Amino acid sequence: FVADGAVMRGFRGAAGHLGHVQSPLAAGIPCACGASGHLESIASGTGLGILFDRLFPARAGEVAGGADVSRLAAAGDADAIEVLQASGRALGEALGSWANTFDPEVIVLSGSVLAAGEPWRAGMREGFASMVMPLMRDTPIVDAALGGHAPLVGASENLLDTVTL
């Protein structure tokens, strides 16, 4: 989270991690952080596989993660498309609520889930539009220019800013 050109880290250095907000769709799903019901549990590459198993228990174990769900969706699998749309919608709803609070100039996304394809992106846009106030509806949502390296670059920047050499 960047405001006025400064990285907002928070007291413990964890500010801006939207993946750890609650999502009704993730209710009861364990998160890697030890809690449950977090957005990351369903809106990440790994989370897409978990969500697939939850929404379609008869097909549990058929996919290992987001890449498998995306491949099935690209082949026209209706269940996989539904999973991508639901995951994207959940993220979009969270982004809309976040935008209502912080009024960002731009929202930058990173992570493997960005490769999920158009059903995921369409769901994300739909979820965002359903939650964001009209004033912020035109907030651009873009992919990080650094792709999957964005979190590592951010962590490096944080380290350089906080360590005295």
CATH 3.30.360.10 fits 19-162, yes or no: no
pLDDT digits (tens, 9 = 90+) for 112-146: 889 999 999 999 999 999 999 999 999 999 998 86
- For residue 92, pLDDT over 70 is answered with yes
132's torsion region: left (phi>0), alpha (psi -120 to 50) or beta? beta
| Domain regions of the chain by residue span | 19-162
- For residue 148, pLDDT over 60 is answered with no
pLDDT band at 4 (very low <50, low <70, confident <90, very high): confident
Task: Report whether 119 contacts 83 (CB < 8 A).
Answer: no
Whole-structure pTM value: 0.87
Residue 118: its pLDDT value, please? 96
Task: Report whether 36 contacts 30 (CB < 8 A).
Answer: yes
Residue 93: its pLDDT value, please? 98
